Amino acid sequence: MNLYVKTYRHSTSCIIAGGGPKLLSTHKALFMRISFLAILLTFSGLLMARSGNGQDLNKIIISIDLKNASLKEAIKKIESLTQLAFTYRTADVAEVDHITYQASKAPVNNILGDLLQHTGLRYDQVDGNIVIKKIKKQEPTVDINIVDAAPYDGGIRGRVTDEAGAPLSNASVMVLGTDRGTAANKEGVFNLGGLKAGKYKLQVSAVGFTTQFTEITIKDNETLEVSVALKEGTGKMEEVIVTALGISRKERSVGYSTQEIKGDNLTVAKEQNVLGSLGGKIAGVQLSGSSGASMGGTQKIQIRGTNFLTGGGEPLVVVDNTPISNSNYAARNGRDYGNLAQDINPDDIESINVLKGPAASALYGLRGQFGVIMITTRKGKNAQKPVVNFSSAYSVEKAGNFLPLQNTYGAGSNLSFSTININGVPTKFVDGEWDESWGPKMDGTPVRHQYSFYPDDPDFGKETPFVPHPNNIKDYFETGHTFNNSISFSGGGQNTSFRLSYNNTDVKGIEPNTYLKRNNLSFSGSLSVNPNLVISTTLNYANNKAQRPSQGYQSLGSRNMYQWFQRNLDMNKLKQYKYADGTFYQWNVSAPTNGVYTSRTSPIDWNNPYFDAYENPAHDSRDRFFGNVGVSYTIMPGLKVNGFVRQDGFIQNLDGRNAEGGRGVPAFWIGKYESKEMNYEFLATYNKEFGRFTVGANLGGNLMNQRYTYLRQETQGGFVSPGFYDITNSLDRPLVKNVLKRKEVRSAYGSVSLGYNNTYFIDASLRRDISSALPDNNNAYLYPSVSASMVFSELLKVIPISYGKIRASFAQAGSDIDIYQTTNSFGLQQPYSGNFPMYVPDTLKNPNLKPSLGTAYEAGLDMRFLQDRVGFSFTWYYQQNQDAVMNLDVSGVSGYSKYVINAGNIQNKGIELTVSGTPIRMKDLTWTSSFNIARNKNKIKELYPGINSLILDQNRYSSVDMFLLANVNESFGSIVGNAYMRDSATGKILLDASNMPMYVTNHNFGTVLPKFTGGWQNTLTWKNFDLSAVIDFQKGGQFFSWTKMLAVKSGQAAETAVMNENGKNIRDPLTDGGGLKVTGISNSSKQEVTAFVNARTWYRNNLGTKIYEQWLYDASYIRMREIRVGYTFSKANIAKLPVKSLNLAFITRNPFMIWQKAPKGLNPAELATGSTSFNWLETGQLATTRSYGINLNVSF
């Protein structure tokens, strides 16, 4: 190391270049300092270790790995690895316990310096002995070489870079022997104050770089300027990951695939549902769900493909080791209330670790079959000064990706206007009975519009031009906005730590009269009651209130305007939907009687969209509490027992209505869900080193109680008093439904981990679950797992290889059945004549049911090269899921329609690859990149004896069905329906005698599952600026679109009014050269035919009703998911502000689709509906939402 010092009157500048002693990482040392949880009893006496010759400590290089050790044990470990002798008082070192520390090939003086930080101890080398003693009170708590401390404070400021001059953000800067330390900001700049005059040792470290130490001198009332250039190290900081049951493990010791995302990576684009933030970032994890217009709507998540025949199959979500519900609730009229993971505040998340398969999640037994999302929240730290973090984000949301529509023809079924006699005079008018646009040209002809028949309308009785309104659907959408403010306060004392946070989210939707208001409050804390006893808690409260839009066909929502609408409708007129006399303006109405619409005029099929928005709102509110309280007691070094009480509970209230003046019978309904899950957990852990061997063992048990109730009430027959929305106002007896579900699961589990020489590792676990939902005589099941890993880079010292590990695993995990599936019972009907009649349900229960079972094999390779500059993780897996619980259709002769069975064997095998690295690392420019891709092959091996095909889902329109099937020896989700009949020789469409397409039924179009999924993340930093972007993609799969089919059928789609080869519009009469040109093979002559046919007949009566092949689309896409451009203000910029750091960023979410195979206006990444575990059916998507905003982060 070269040291250049230049001294001025008021400051000293120091430039450090070159490399210092190598230390793997000080992150573990920092963890050690903040994790002292207990102090051993004090003993007196002087212990003299064996003698030895004096040696130069910085030349003695050793590797050491301590886990939960005492200082005395650490000293003995160093003695066993060297010829050094230590002298110390037992009473002095006995106070230091629970040390977790790891260093690879580091000098002993560095290791001792790390171990003694913040202990009040120092060391001297006297002859051949290392003497450890307490620092006297008059001495500053610094290194042995600190002298002559003065009473005036000084400081250090500087910048940390790599050898090329690129800043190293988050580099750790410590003044050894003191409590002064900090982390460099994004420019690598740091600032430390409060140092008395004297000599100190400065330690600077960063992930992937060699730790550097240097002696510095602080003078009275002066600030030392320091520049540090770190050399790239040969190893990466030892990573610790959170595995099942919250057990922390070294990454090298884990024999199965997991992938972790840090919390800062989840809040870049401020997703309203935290699960949406995982999209494109984890190999083998696929998300699909609702548009941003749904405001926190459902995000369906699949890990390694579809693993369950009858839907579901989603991973367990665990927050701070507490399992929480991620159910989703949907109600009538197509409203999506989202899954419950939206109750988690993203700003509270420290990290998310995805346990991808049974090998990782087997310790969760009956709940671990489909993987686990492990969420760890931020915590306060012991001996930490109070820290306040504030984040504020504001964004605007705009609707995008509109379906191309025609603006030439208006309402009607042919090119002529309908007429009505008014006072004996035939008058042209816009016929509201036609909810389509196959009518006359919108050429400005004066006609009576629907609104002209309402007496209170300004244009009552007037003829106005029949013209298009090209943006009428687009104009319905508003500019939404989101305010997201979060504040946290954290810190800790000698024996305590805490963090308190609050978040407020206020969303105005892009559809009229929609909103979401959310409040989150969380607290976490710990208290060391005595040296061995620690009490901890994590508490979370969430409150949601919303009015959400509806979606799907025949919903009270916006997408119906694409399906059935008139291109001549004026949205400004529709917006004034209520006249002064209380009459509602509706467009889809029959011809008026006597030329006047009255308050009794009701629409035929579709309400005015503004009527739905303001008269038919649906409210939902939810109060939720989840968290835990735990007690931890250390019996002896390495042995700890833990007890926890965990809870997840919520109350959700829903209401909705069908208002008077709209279509259908007026109604009002309310629903109330109450859910509570309690887990009582015990866990004993033991960790010990025996020379080169390490042993870890865990033994525990859990008692889970679930209670769920649902109460629904709905008016019947209309209202007694119009306009009063209350159950008591029901004209007939209200419909009431009450549901109660209870379940208990008792579990016992254990695991053993063995390691040798920090290179070879093997794990085994076993869990036994007893479920009350299962038959009494067969309610207990075992779930084993075995995994192994070898870090071969410890054996092969090949210079380019920084790290290399191979791993393999086997495991089984299950999925419990729903309650009340094994015993037949009676159901209650509505009261009749004062009695409560009972009935036998249509489904026959099965007393021999068992839980489904997932069996998985996995192997992988993890490697990093060039001092961790680039690396990859590769995984191969095979998973078999069998005995899914499903309802089998049976003959009605039996008295039942369905029978509950265990059936099915579905197989998934595939590969996952993640490649990450830092392609550019220069003085002012750094580029980091991570690319992941996954390939999954799915096959159904069997269903049930005698059954080779099972209907998973069904779509019916106009009495024509499209099915989603599970077929033996095929992939999950085969789409089967009507297809074009084609000539066997040429593949061209066969035409009938009218030159209309012919079709076949029950054609198999293949699977809905994609071939590849993945994502690409990139971050560029240039000086104080940072740019990050996330792309996700999918190759393959397919979906069926009602929106496109009905937009064409109703004559609104652009292709229904294009020009033909004759220069005429395809809607013009055939005799005038109009018509749609079709080419095919005549079914009778078998000759090729080219003809012009009536466009409406082709599109509406054939493709829109009989042939569904036309509306199947490839689901491949490449999407820009999020972009962030940020600027971090330097210390000089904010010197006069009372803040520590300040960052301002522009953020955008879902800004554009880079490429897709499906037509414009459809979004294969946001399929809104579908009852199975995989979205395949688009019946009325909410509009794609583009979000643009700013985000401010301030630390005090």
Burial (CB count <10 Å: 0-12, 13-18, 19+), residue 807: buried
Residue 936 pLDDT > 50: yes
Find out whether 1116 and 1037 touch, Cβ atoms under 8 Å: yes
Find out whether 37 and 528 touch, Cβ atoms under 8 Å: yes
Whole-number pLDDT of residue 4: 29
The values of phi and psi at residue 55, to 5°, are -140, 160
- Both structure tokens of 718: 């209309």
| Better-scored residue on pLDDT, 267 or 667 | 667
Whole-number pLDDT of residue 150: 35
> What is d(CA 116, CA 177) in angstroms, rounded to the nearest whole number?
8
Whole-number pLDDT of residue 153: 63
Label residue 330 by pLDDT band (50, 70, 90).
low
Task: Look up the pTM and report it.
Answer: 0.81
Find out whether 1191 and 392 touch, Cβ atoms under 8 Å: yes
Burial (CB count <10 Å: 0-12, 13-18, 19+), residue 1177: buried
Query: Which domains can be identified in the chain, with CATH numbers?
Result: 2-230 (2.60.40.10)
pLDDT in tens, 204-220: 887 667 778 888 888 87
SS3 947: strand
Whole-number pLDDT of residue 145: 31
Four-point Cα dihedral 218, 219, 225, 227, nearest 10: -30
Q: Would you put residue 470 in left (φ > 0), alpha (ψ -120 to 50) or beta?
A: alpha
> What is d(CA 110, CA 555) in angstroms, rounded to the nearest whole number?
69
Say which residue the tokens 């670790």 belong to. Answer: 353
Label residue 52 by pLDDT band (50, 70, 90).
very low
Label residue 773 by pLDDT band (50, 70, 90).
very high
Of residues 453, 513, 26, the one with CA closest to residue 238:
26
Whole-number pLDDT of residue 45: 28
- Both structure tokens of 547: 């009015």
> What is d(CA 868, CA 874) in angstroms, rounded to the nearest whole number?
16
- Mean pLDDT over residues 363-369, rounded? 90
Label residue 198 by pLDDT band (50, 70, 90).
confident
Query: How confident is the prediction for the chain on average, in pLDDT?
Result: 86
Lowest mean pLDDT among 205-209, 344-348, 571-575, 1170-1174: 1170-1174
Cβ-Cβ contacts under 8 Å for 274 (sequence gap 6 or more): 266, 341, 342, 344, 346, 349
> What is d(CA 797, CA 781) in angstroms, rounded to the nearest whole number?
45
Lowest mean pLDDT among 281-285, 594-598, 679-683, 1059-1063: 594-598
User: CA-based Rg of the chain, rounded to a whole angstrom?
Assistant: 35
SS3 716: strand
> What is d(CA 611, CA 584) in angstroms, rounded to the nearest whole number?
8
Burial (CB count <10 Å: 0-12, 13-18, 19+), residue 1033: buried
Would you say how long the chain is, in residues? 1196
Burial (CB count <10 Å: 0-12, 13-18, 19+), residue 553: buried
- Both structure tokens of 1028: 């990050």
The values of phi and psi at residue 775, to 5°, are -60, 145
pLDDT in tens, 1019-1077: 999 999 999 999 999 999 999 998 999 999 999 999 999 999 999 999 999 999 999 99
- Mean pLDDT over residues 810-815, rounded? 93
Label residue 1173 by pLDDT band (50, 70, 90).
low
- Mean pLDDT over residues 677-683, rounded? 97
- Mean pLDDT over residues 848-870, rounded? 93
Which string of DSSP letters, residue by residue, matches 338-359? EEGGGGS-GGGEEEEEEE-SHH
Q: Number of helices (H) and strands (E), helices first, in the chain?
A: 11, 64
Find out whether 662 and 607 touch, Cβ atoms under 8 Å: yes
Q: Longest Cα pair distance anywhere in the chain, in angstroms?
A: 124
Q: What angle do CA 92, 94, 99 make, to 5 degrees?
A: 115
Label residue 227 by pLDDT band (50, 70, 90).
confident
Residue 146 pLDDT > 60: no
SS3 562: helix
Q: What angle do CA 631, 66, 53 make, to 5 degrees?
A: 140
> What is d(CA 211, CA 1073) in angstroms, rounded to the nearest whole number?
82
Find out whether 778 and 730 touch, Cβ atoms under 8 Å: no
Neighbours of 42 (CB within 10 A): 10
DSSP classification of residue 437: B
Find out whether 816 and 745 touch, Cβ atoms under 8 Å: yes
SS3 1038: strand
H or E, element range at 77: helix 71-81
Whole-number pLDDT of residue 16: 29
> What is d(CA 668, CA 645) in angstroms, rounded to the nearest whole number?
40
Four-point Cα dihedral 551, 555, 561, 563, nearest 10: 90
Whole-number pLDDT of residue 127: 56
Residue 161 pLDDT > 90: no
pLDDT in tens, 271-293: 888 888 898 999 999 888 777 77
SS3 604: coil
Cα–Cα distances (Å) from 1082 to 797, 990, 1091, in that order, read: 73, 6, 11
Which string of DSSP letters, residue by residue, matches 1114-1176? E--EEEEEEEEEEEEPPTTTTTTSS-SEEEEEEEEEEEEEEEESSPTT--TT---B-SSSS--
Residue 916 pLDDT > 90: yes
Which string of DSSP letters, residue by residue, matches 883-918? EEEEEEE--GGGT-SEEEEEEEEEEEEEEEEEEEEE
> What is d(CA 290, CA 300) in angstroms, rounded to the nearest whole number?
9
Find out whether 87 and 132 touch, Cβ atoms under 8 Å: yes
> What is d(CA 630, CA 817) in angstroms, rounded to the nearest whole number?
30
> What is d(CA 599, CA 604) in angstroms, rounded to the nearest whole number?
14
Whole-number pLDDT of residue 22: 33
pLDDT in tens, 6-18: 322 233 333 323 3
> What is d(CA 1007, CA 1018) in angstroms, rounded to the nearest whole number?
32
Q: Are strands 11-17 and 2-7 parallel, antiparallel or unpaired?
A: antiparallel
Instruction: Please report, as a single letter, which amino acid is at residue 65.
Output: D
> What is d(CA 104, CA 125) in angstroms, rounded to the nearest whole number?
23
> What is d(CA 740, CA 339) in angstroms, rounded to the nearest whole number?
21
